[in-house]
Amino acid sequence: MTEPFVALRSTPLSLDEAVAAVTHPGAGGISLFRGVVRDMNEGRPVTSLEYVAYEPMAIAEMRRIAHEVIAMIPGVRVAVIHRVGHLSLGEAAVVCAASAPHRREAQDACRWLIDAVKARVPIWKREHGPEGAYWVGWQDVRVDGKGDEKHDP
């Protein structure tokens, strides 16, 4: 079994690197996913993103996910590279690649890979926009919507 390629990078991501990591003579299909910074999220304008990761745990979880996908699909090879730091609109935040003997298996592996990475890997996203910066999927229950601290009665 070939080890999956997993990485966190603070520099721009390369599709070519991901493809090279999964290419082999038995791969009849290679599927790619490239997640990019978009200009809107949940009806709010976005001007840039910032990703922060607990790196040792993020790498370990990406590796665990990759091994799970490899165990599910015979002959598959996978790669996942996630960006950390500040990203501008249009920049790649994550690249996933999967190869398999046939296209369907490669597509399934790539889909499972990105879905699990988004759900399980300890990487946090902070969106920046005209109204300021905010962490996605997190609300501080210690403050109200105005930024004032709440106190117990």
Q: Residues 78-129: pLDDT tens digits?
A: 999 999 999 999 999 999 999 999 999 999 999 999 999 999 999 999 999 9
For residue 134, what pLDDT band results from cuts at 50, 70 and 90?
Answer: confident
Domain map (residue ranges) of the chain: 5-135
Q: 5-135: what fold?
A: Aldehyde Oxidoreductase; domain 3 (3.90.1170)
User: For tokens 């699990």, what's the residue?
Assistant: 116
∠ Cα 139 141 147 (to 5°):
80
Question: For 7, what's the count of Cα atoms within 13 Å in the CB-facing half-sphere?
Answer: 15
Q: 20-57 pLDDT, tens per residue?
A: 999 999 999 999 999 999 999 989 999 999 999 999 99
Burial of residue 96, with CB atoms counted within 10 A of its CB: 0-12 exposed, 13-18 middle, 19 or more buried:
buried
Contact between 132 and 44 under an 8 Å Cβ cutoff? The reply is no
